[in-house]
Amino acid sequence: MERYNFITQKHPREIVLLKGFPCAWGKCTFCDYTLDNSTNEAEMTALNAQVLSHVSGRTGVLEVINSGSCFELPRDTLFQIRQVIRQKGIHWLFLESHWMYRGRLQEMRNFMGIPITFKIGVETFDNDFRERVLHKHAFFHTPQEVAAYFDSPCIMVCIQGQTRKMIDRDIQALQKYFQLGTVNVFTNNSTAIKQDPELVDWFRREYAFLDHDPSIEVLYQNTDFGVGD
């Protein structure tokens, strides 16, 4: 499992994949990342400290991810992140959170003491597909609702059952309402949700221009940020 990398393309930054407690929701039909969660706080804290020790601060930008939300990281790990921020001169932090924690984002900003770009796994702005198929448990109705809290949505494309029009609408919403975003081409995993190869071929042709869009990062594999397994 790779847990540290340096992203050299859009928004150069260091990225760490840490361990957290089980996702508070944990019922998304497409997600098996919960296999990286733990309830052994001492073990998680020790591992996370080792991973954070690789952070050099070379660009002053750090992204912290875990298999859930940043609010599910151990308390001691949050203090370790804040210490790294201060010691390494980090001036910009990327964190991720589920919709259910939207009321606590300022709490985390106050704690870390630097600007934070909050990511959210929207997966799709199509409310029916997001809840009926993906079971995301994120009950917003418009992209504007998300933009009122979060800075950078992650959408997931090329899933069986999606349509080209659904993907078009999601990309348009991403570009219209947000300054940053991530598009994840779904990668088959241990869940019953499957990739649609025809949609992948279409997406690569139709949205090749996103590879040159500085505001949107496209992940064709879920390990394209250089962390994970």
Q: What is the pLDDT of residue 222?
A: 87
Q: What is the pLDDT of residue 217?
A: 97
Q: What is the pLDDT of residue 33?
A: 82
pLDDT tens-digit series, residues 95-120: 999 999 999 999 999 999 999 999 99
By percentage, how much of the chain surpasses pLDDT 90? 95
**Alpha-carbon dihedral sign for residues 63, 134, 185, 226:** positive
Phi, psi of 127 (to 5 degrees): -60, -40
Q: Rounded mean pLDDT of 166-183?
A: 98
Q: What is the pLDDT of residue 1?
A: 87
Neighbours of 109 (CB within 10 A): 15
pLDDT tens-digit series, residues 62-108: 999 999 999 999 999 999 999 999 999 999 999 999 999 999 999 99
Domains present along the chain, CATH in parentheses: 4-219 (3.20.20.70)
Which candidate, 181, 178, 180, places its Cα nearest to that of 148? 178
Which candidate, 121, 122, 18, places its Cα nearest to that of 63? 18
With 80 as the cut, is the pLDDT of residue 34 above it? no
**Is 154 within 8 Å of 182 (Cβ atoms)?**
yes
